[in-house]
């Protein structure tokens, strides 16, 4: 339905094929978070990999920083409708975390957990094969607190709530267990190209 | 917890009235083709579509009382952006607007009995709190509630008249205005930006420490307010924030 009198602003031009349906381009970096912004010192930072309830390996900040580093420049898409192109990240691929722990494919699903109690579910297929990382740098610098520093998950091909800020662990689960927003009305998978914003979409 | 297994579809809301609330904020009353009942704190998504098919979508909190479900009130601040400028400069009564809702399952007035509730907002960030306060009033709820509302001047304090009259005659509702660029309005108000001491002062006016804190506004404001709440000794787990994106 056309809205009377609405013309919209000039489109993203030849970039428009990179913007999923219902999204608009921003050049700044909006912040959306459901609670207070945690303050985590690298000395207090710890990342734990679990299979079900069982911890398999944990890394402190120095240990985690000695894992292989990978750079990734990707477009990101927030469910509140903004998209940002060419965001540059650096961190540890999920593949490299699993390899360091000697874990291959115990189940098909994972939950990412964060220092503030946040969680989000992502299938292994969307984390492995170079698709996702635990990012430690944004645009060449430490990730600002507001954007999830010291470390955040980056799963750029899904809506950005899947890229958990202040991430402190990954947990393999038997089934696809809904996380924080997935329990609060948001889509279980969250593919921006299919506009999977809310459950039922 | 909000669960919807059937999709929440798009529908039409017809603008029935537009009211200028402050120099930069207007209320838009939308009559819904398919009325719904929301939980105070929820929002709708609005979609504007250009003749060439281009569309722009944004979220707006519902400011009206949940029990009045055929018409919803949205309060939109003119940020000179794509969608807010359309509402302020182009939209008139009778226009049909596409929307879907109610949405959001976190920033919600507690359905079950709870301890005291502290609300902290700035600018148009008072919108979800109006729905909560109106819900509280129309339901004659007695849960102790305090609202700390920050605005540049008295004229920018959204819904100030209605809030002040809500406070009169309700011993369980406390209103404190933080007017940042003018002298305080009333003796119980402040004339500076929200800070830790102010939050402690407002918490001290409540019968006991709040069991829920809701903070809404720009990201910068929300961070300052959340840090103040934490510094006054409340746990991070009682704080819910809604950031209007910038
Ligand atoms: C859940 C939710 C509820 C909301 N409820 C309300 C509500 O009740 N009332 C309300 O008025 N708004 C609300 N908002 C905000 C609203 O959705 C829009 O974001 C807002 O109206 C601006 O949209 P726009 O199209 O006018 O501006 P856009 O064109 O999207 O521009 C966004 C704004 O960002 C600013 N901006 C541009 N660059 C930068 C930068 N580098 N840094 C910071 N800012 C920048 C622009 O000046 C502009 O003001 C809500 C947002 C959310 C997520």
* Cβ pair A198:B223 closer than 8 A: no
Cβ pairs bridging A and B (under 8 Å): 123
pTM as predicted? 0.94
CB contacts of B227 in chain A (<8 Å) are: 36
Instruction: Assess contact for B187 and B95: CB atoms under 8 A.
Output: no
In chain B, residues with a C-beta closer than 8 Å to the C-beta of A35 are 226, 236-237, 239-241
What angle do helix axes B127-138 and B160-167 make, rounded to 10 degrees? 30
Looking up residue B62, the CATH number of its domain turns out to be 2.40.30.10
Which residues in A lie closer than 8 A to residue B45 (C-beta atoms)? 81
Q: Is the CB of B81 under 6 A from ligand 1?
A: yes
Digit-coded pLDDT (tens) for B171-218:
999 999 999 999 888 999 999 999 999 999 999 999 999 999 999 999
Name the CATH superfamily, with its identifier, for domain A24-28+43-194: Oxidoreductase, molybdopterin-binding domain (3.90.420.10)
Distance from the Cα of residue A3 to its chain's centroid: 34
Are B74 and B156 part of one and the same domain? Answer: no
pLDDT digits (tens, 9 = 90+) for A99-145: 999 999 999 999 999 999 999 999 999 999 999 999 999 999 999 99
Q: Could you tell me if B62 and B174 lie in one domain?
A: no
Min Cα–Cα distance to chain A from B41, Å: 13
B103 to A1: CB separation less than 8 angstroms, yes or no = no
One domain for residues B124 and B222: yes
Clarify whether residues B64 and B95 are in a common domain.
yes
Where in chain A are the domains? 24-28+43-194
Lowest mean pLDDT among A10-19, A60-69, B15-24: A10-19
pLDDT band (50, 70, 90) for residue B1: very low
Chain B: give the shortest CA distance to residue A175, in Å: 19
* Domain coverage including residue B211: 117-243
Alpha-carbon distance A66 to A87, whole Å? 23
How far apart are alpha carbons B160 and B183 in whole angstroms? 15
Look at residues B198, B65, B178, B186 and name the one whose alpha carbon lies nearest to residue B129: B65
User: Residue A41 C-alpha to ligand 1 middle, in angstroms?
Assistant: 31
Nearest residue to B10 via CA among B27, B30, B34: B34
Burial-class residue B19 by CB neighbours within 10 Å (0-12, 13-18, 19+).
Answer: exposed
Q: What is the A157 CA–ligand 1 centroid distance (Å)?
A: 24
- The interface predicted TM-score (ipTM) is 0.89
Which of B43, B73, B103 represents a domain boundary (last residue)?
Answer: B103
Tally the domains of chain B: 2
Residue B111 lies in a domain: no
Question: Does residue B108 lie in a domain region?
Answer: no
* Domain shared by B72 and B138, yes or no: no
- What DSSP designation does A159 have? -
Of B103, B130, B151, which one is at a domain's C-terminal end? B103
Angle subtended at Cα B236 by Cα A139 and Cα B156, rounded to the nearest 5 degrees: 80
The C-alpha atoms of residue B235 and residue B237 are separated, in whole angstroms, by 5
Show which residues on chain A lie within 8 Å of chain B, measured between beta carbons. 1-9, 11, 22-24, 28, 30-38, 80-82, 116-117, 146, 180-181, 183-186, 198-201
């Amino acid at each position: 339905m056309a809205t009377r009198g609405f013309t919209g602003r000039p489109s993203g031009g030849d970039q428009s094929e990179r913007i999923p349906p219902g999204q608009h381009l921003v050049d700044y970096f909006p912040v959306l978070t459901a609670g207070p912004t945690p303050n985590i010192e690298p000395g207090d930072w710890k990342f734990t990999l679990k299979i079900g309830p069982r911890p398999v390996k944990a890394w402190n900040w120095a240990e985690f920083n000695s894992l292989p580093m990978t750079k990734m420049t990707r477009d990101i898409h927030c469910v509140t409708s903004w998209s940002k192109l060419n965001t540059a990240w650096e961190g540890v691929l999920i593949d490299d975390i699993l390899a360091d722990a000697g874990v291959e494919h115990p189940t098909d699903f994972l939950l990412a957990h964060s220092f503030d109690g946040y969680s989000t579910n992502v299938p292994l297929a969307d984390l492995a094969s170079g698709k996702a990382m635990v990012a430690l740098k944004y645009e060449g610098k430490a990730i600002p607190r507001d954007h999830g520093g010291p470390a955040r998950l980056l799963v750029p091909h899904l809506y950005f709530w899947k890229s958990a800020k202040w991430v402190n662990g990954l947990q393999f689960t038997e089934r696809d267990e809904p996380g924080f927003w997935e329990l609060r009305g948001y889509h279980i998978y969250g593919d921006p190209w299919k506009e999977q914003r809310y459950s039922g979409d | 917890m909000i669960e919807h297994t059937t999709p929440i579809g798009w529908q039409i809301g017809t603008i029935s009235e537009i009211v200028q609330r402050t120099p930069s904020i207007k209320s838009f009353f939308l009559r819904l083709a398919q009325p719904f009942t929301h939980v105070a704190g929820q929002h709708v998504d609005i979609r504007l579509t250009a003749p060439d098919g281009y569309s722009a979508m944004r979220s707006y909190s519902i400011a009206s009382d949940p029990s009045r479900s055929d018409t919803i009130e949205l309060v939109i601040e003119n940020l000179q952006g794509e969608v807010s400028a359309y509402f302020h400069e182009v939209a008139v009564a009778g226009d049909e607007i596409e929307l879907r809702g109610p949405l959001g399952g976190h920033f919600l007035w507690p359905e079950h009995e709870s301890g005291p509730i502290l609300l902290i907002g700035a600018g148009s960030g008072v919108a979800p709190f109006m729905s909560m306060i109106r819900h509280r009033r129309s339901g004659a709820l007695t849960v102790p509630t305090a609202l700390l509302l920050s605005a540049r001047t008295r004229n920018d304090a959204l819904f100030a008249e209605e809030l002040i009259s809500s406070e009169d005659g309700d011993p369980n509702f406390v209103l404190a205005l933080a007017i940042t660029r003018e002298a305080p309005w009333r003796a119980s108000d402040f004339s500076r930006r929200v800070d830790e001491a102010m939050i402690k002062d407002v918490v001290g006016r409540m019968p006991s420490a709040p069991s829920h804190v809701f903070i809404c506004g720009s990201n910068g404001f929300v961070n300052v307010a959340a840090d103040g709440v934490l510094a006054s000794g409340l746990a991070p787990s009682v704080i819910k924030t809604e950031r209007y994106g910038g």
